[in-house]
């Protein structure tokens, strides 16, 4: 499944469009960036309520397919700008992390 399929099927908004044709290899939910850094791999989708610019750095470092910002949290302009510069897909959902994770799981994305 590609990021663009995820956007459509899980009803996500696209806050920053990088490359939506990237394949999704898995997903992870966490709000501690130290934990995300240690436990995600390339192609992963990361669901979080964090909006600090550091999320973009973590996503590029671990080559994540996309960040999904849950609970309708709005990232600061600086975060969005950094994501645009780095070509990181930033998606949004009004749903809390648990619901977003549930939708992804139903779509066949496992761990």
Partner 1 sequence: MPVFRADLHVHTVLSPCGDMEQSPRAVVKAAKNKGITLLGIADHNASENVPACVEAARRAGSVTVIPAVEVASVEEVHILGLFPNPADLGAMQGKIHQRLGDDKNVPEKFGYQVIVDHRDNVLGFNDRFLLAATDMDVDTAVRYIREYGGFAVAAHVDRPAFSMTSQLGFVPPAPTFDAIEVSRFADPGEYVDLGYAVIRSSDAHLPGEVGAAYTELELEEPTYDELIMALRGEGGRKVVGYSPTIKVMA
Contacts to partner 1 by CB under 8 A? 32-34, 36-37, 50-54, 57-58, 76, 78
- As measured in angstroms, the least distance from the Cβ of 33 to partner 1 is 3
Task: Give least dist CB 75 to partner 1, A.
Answer: 10
Shortest approach of partner 1 to residue 34 CB, angstroms? 5
Give the residue with the Cβ less far from partner 1, 45 or 56.
56
Cβ closer to partner 1: 10 or 55?
55
Using an 8 Å Cβ cutoff, are 74 and 94 in contact? no
- Helical H runs in the chain? 3-9, 33-39, 54-61, 77-86, 97-106
Nearer Cβ to partner 1 (82/103):
82
Phi/psi zone of residue 85: left (φ > 0), alpha (ψ -120 to 50 degrees), beta?
Answer: alpha
Provide the terminal-to-terminal Cα distance of the chain, rounded to the nearest Å. 14
Say how far apart CA 64 and CA 67 lie, in whole Å: 7
Q: What is the smallest separation between the CB atom of 42 and partner 1, expressed in angstroms?
A: 17
Cβ proximity to partner 1: between 34 and 108 the closer is 34
């Amino acid at each position: 499944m590609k990021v663009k399929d995820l956007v459509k099927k899980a009803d996500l908004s696209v806050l920053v469009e990088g490359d939506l044709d990237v394949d999704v290899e898995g997903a992870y939910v966490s709000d501690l960036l130290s934990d995300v850094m240690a436990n995600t791999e390339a192609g992963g989708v990361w669901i979080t309520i964090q909006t600090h610019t550091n999320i973009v750095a973590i996503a590029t470092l671990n080559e994540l397919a996309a960040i999904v910002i849950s609970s309708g949290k709005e990232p600061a302009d600086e975060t969005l700008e950094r994501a645009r510069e780095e070509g990181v897909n930033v998606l949004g959902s009004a749903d809390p992390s648990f619901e977003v994770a549930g939708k992804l799981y139903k779509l066949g994305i496992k761990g």
